[in-house]
Structure 1
Amino acid sequence: MTINVHPYSQAGFATGTSEFYDQVRPSYPAECLSYIRGQVPESTAPLNIVEIGAGTGIFTRALLTHPDWATSIGTLKAIEPSDGMRDFWTKSVKDNRCTIINGTFDDTGVEDGWADLIIIAQAFHWCLDYGKAFTEFARILNKDGAAVFVWNLADREAAGWVAQVQHCIEARGNGSPRFRLDVLRQAFSTAEYTSLFRSQEEKQWAHHGVASEKTITDRAQSWSYITMLPPDEKAKVVDDIKCILERGDGRVWINKEQGMYQDPHMARAFISRKK
């Protein structure tokens, strides 16, 4: 198998970064997982699921512990090209229905027509060739199958400080792909997508967690291209974010004495059904 991985992903998520990534990245709202389950007929359970770009297992674990999915999963095959993330996934996902192998969007190693559902959470912006990916998705999905693309992003519309922090981070992106660049809508316009899949369905959920200064600065340092910065530049990013948080434009306090406030996010799910 030839594994082609975006160089920023390969370098930014190298061995030694996975545990930190898993600790600081947020999980997904329960409503989003319920919605995804509702898109697959009950009659098809237990489901054969392929999760591509499974990373450290943040979405996998959320799926396994969600009540709507408790008895719905037959077999879950996770695909992840990062050695470090696969190792962490293996340690963090303890369910004999689930396995993980090395692979990519266009080379999953899954047999023809096996999958009821493909799930890609917080990962499809790393795809190198949309046409090849959709061809692979259509190959491994059964005739009634669907692909689900999920993102859980900081909600920059909810508060000024969120938008400012995101701008501070993305200013160091140097062309790294991200959902905000609308890569998925570009993917949906490819000839392979329009010939193999129906028009996508979309839903989103505003939600918030609890954050502190450490939460936000640690999360910023988990971004692929931030991990690659020299120590002095990385420290400058942290200092700039601390200044933004000190101003706290639009911040909603949960416990001011403890320095805890709302951490606004917007989760989005896109459903693409095979023709």
Structure 2
Amino acid sequence: MITGLVSLRAQQFVFRLTRNMTTKVHAIAQTGFGTGTNELYDRVRPSYPAECLSYILTHVTFSSSFQLAFRIGAGTGIFTRALLDHSEWATSIGTLRAIEPSDGMRDVWTKTVDDNRSSIVKGTFDDTGVEDGWADLIIIAQAFHWCPDYGKASAEFGRILKKDGAVVFIWNLEDRDGAGWVAQLRDRIEAHEKGTPQFRLGLWRETFSTPEYISLFHPQEEEEWAYHLLASEQIVTDRAQSKSYIAVLPPDEKAKVVEDVKGILERGDGRVWINKEEGTYQYPYKTYIVVSRKK
């Protein structure tokens, strides 16, 4: 436990030292989510539980047909499609403007999102191109941990939100407490993070103590859900390879990761079968939501 804590603090320290020297998009994010990696990402990353999307609707205030601005991390469209397919959201969205810095991800988003209320442009957390006071709601899905400057991002969110608008941050993550094999999987792939600002490190929480956030937003509200998805050897190994820090590995190192993950799955510590004959079992997951309301 102590060793893990020291390692975590060391990664946090390294990231804080280098954050001011990074570009607007982290180098690992640029390559790990670059052209050629996005189809796998879109195919194997999980969507979001319907109850979590309903929770957002009941915890934000907006007009009957509101303006929704996605931030950096619109990605390949997984979250966009989840909203557009959700019975409550589908009838609430007036305009959906997606923001994403990766050319490859925007290309997949364009191919997979088919709704005339939706569009996507290139942008970053602190440079969106959105007009002042345009958005009722900003949602950042599976992305804000890559933010290089939390204060500048908060100022940008405040600029484009209407009065009483809100920012919602949402993440999915494998639940290492849900089964022994999941904890072993996370340990194996996390060995390749190399100081990248992963969600689990909690560096993004510095947002809520920046002067910009404090002056513009109320204290954040947080919620989490634990549940199970469908797992198989193919699903787990493909999803591991979709991680940015695994995607950038040389082929031989990536092959070793896959080999080790298969070994973990073969042992299957704590596995709960769904259908043993078909090779499917429960994949413990959690979804985290943070809501920040503009003053």
- Confirm or deny a common fold (TM above 0.5): yes
Alignment partner, residue 196 of structure 1:
216
Structure 1 ranges of 4+ moved more than 2 A = none
Does 2:273 correspond to 1:234? no
| Residue type of the alignment partner of 2:173 | L
Does 2:221 correspond to 1:221? no
Asked whether the equivalents of residues 131 and 160 of structure 2 are also in contact (C-alpha less than 8 Å), the reply is: yes
Alignment partner, residue 85 of structure 1:
105
| Residue type of the alignment partner of 2:55 | Y
C-alpha displacement of 1:184: 2.4
SS in 2 for 1:233: helix
SS in 1 for 2:226: strand
Does 2:74 correspond to 1:27? no
Given the alignment, which residue of 17, 21, 46 partners 2:37?
17
Tell me the distance in 2 between the aligned counterparts of 1:31 and 1:243.
34
Tell me the distance in 2 between the aligned counterparts of 1:267 and 1:4.
26
Unaligned runs of 5+ in 2: 1-22
Given the alignment, which residue of 24, 31, 36 partners 2:56?
36
Tell me the distance in 2 between the aligned counterparts of 1:45 and 1:177.
37
Does 2:178 correspond to 1:172? no
Unaligned runs of 5+ in 1: none
Asked whether the equivalents of residues 150 and 204 of structure 2 are also in contact (C-alpha less than 8 Å), the reply is: no
User: TM-score, normalised to structure 1's length?
Assistant: 0.97
| Residue type of the alignment partner of 1:267 | T
SS in 2 for 1:44: coil
C-alpha displacement of 1:73: 0.0
Tell me the distance in 1 between the aligned counterparts of 2:140 and 2:232.
29
| Residue type of the alignment partner of 1:182 | G
Given the alignment, which residue of 155, 180, 193 partners 1:135?
155
C-alpha displacement of 1:169: 0.6
Per mean C-alpha deviation after superposition, the further-off stretch among 202-211 and 83-92 is: 202-211
Please give the residue correspondences for 1:41-80 in structure 2 after superposition, counting only pairs within 5 Å: 41=61, 44-52=63-71, 53-80=73-100
Please give the residue correspondences for 1:85-124 in structure 2 after superposition, counting only pairs within 5 Å: 85-124=105-144
Alignment partner, residue 151 of structure 1:
171
* CA RMSD across the alignment: 1.0
Tell me the distance in 1 between the aligned counterparts of 2:65 and 2:143.
25
SS in 2 for 1:188: helix
| Residue type of the alignment partner of 1:45 | S
Count of residue pairs brought into register by the alignment? 272
Tell me the distance in 2 between the aligned counterparts of 1:97 and 1:163.
41
Tell me the distance in 2 between the aligned counterparts of 1:49 and 1:157.
34
Asked whether the equivalents of residues 68 and 96 of structure 2 are also in contact (C-alpha less than 8 Å), the reply is: yes
Alignment partner, residue 162 of structure 1:
182
User: TM-score, normalised to structure 2's length?
Assistant: 0.91
| Residue type of the alignment partner of 2:121 | I
